[in-house]
Amino acid sequence: MASSRKITLRSSDGESFEVEEAVAVESQTIKHMIEDDCADNAIPLPNVTSKILAKVIEYCKKHVDASKAEDRVNDEDLKAWDAAFIKVDQVDQATLFDLILAANYLNIKSLLDLTCQTVADMIKGNLFPVRNEWLNFTFSIANRELVLVCLTEWVAHRRLFCS
């Protein structure tokens, strides 16, 4: 078991979070920064706001605790915790998308799987008829970012599409 070294993470809006190293290295990105010796002072995370970073830390802490021998949580319970963590009324859609971007930037595979699957489940079944004005954009290869934004809008307004 690694020594409980504390790592400081700094969000884009300047807030500092002190976490145990074991929790911080759930993120492969942070793990590599620590290995590359960039972690003497606080690790800056310019792409992650404090609101999102707090949730990410909550997720990582739970998953690290769940695998500790003393507090061993079984798979079913952890899945239930994940479901509650990501539930739509706990997490609004903008936060959900920010969590996806953060999980991707910080390279936390299990969180990325959880958040992407959540979006996929929200899309599934809420399909057509879809009115074109909500997806009224010119799709171009350079503009894939626009597609993600419109997907958000569409998911947010999905009730309009149920006939």
* Residues in contact with other proteins by the rule CB under 8 A: 29, 33, 46-47, 100-101, 104-105, 112, 116-117, 119-121, 123-125, 127-128, 130, 132, 135, 137-140, 144-145, 147-148, 151
133-138: long-range contacts at Cβ-Cβ below 8 A with a sequence spacing of 24 or more?
134/160
At residue 138's C-alpha, the angle toward residues 135 and 139, to 5°, is: 90
For residue 88, the minimal CB distance to other proteins (Å) is 16
Q: Are 47 and 91 in contact (CB under 8 A)?
A: no
For residue 123, the minimal CB distance to other proteins (Å) is 6
Taking the C-alpha atoms of residue 103 and residue 34, their distance in angstroms, rounded to an integer, is: 18
State which residue, 43 or 60, has the beta carbon closest to other proteins.
Answer: 43
For residue 98, the minimal CB distance to other proteins (Å) is 12
Please name the residues in contact with 73: beta carbons below 8 A apart, sequence gap of 6 or more.
Answer: 65, 66, 81
For residue 70, the minimal CB distance to other proteins (Å) is 30
Q: Which two tokens stand for residue 21?
A: 């190293």
Sheet holding 6-10, edge to edge: 16-20, 6-10, 43-44
State which residue, 29 or 50, has the beta carbon closest to other proteins.
Answer: 29
State which residue, 22 or 100, has the beta carbon closest to other proteins.
Answer: 100
State which residue, 116 or 156, has the beta carbon closest to other proteins.
Answer: 116
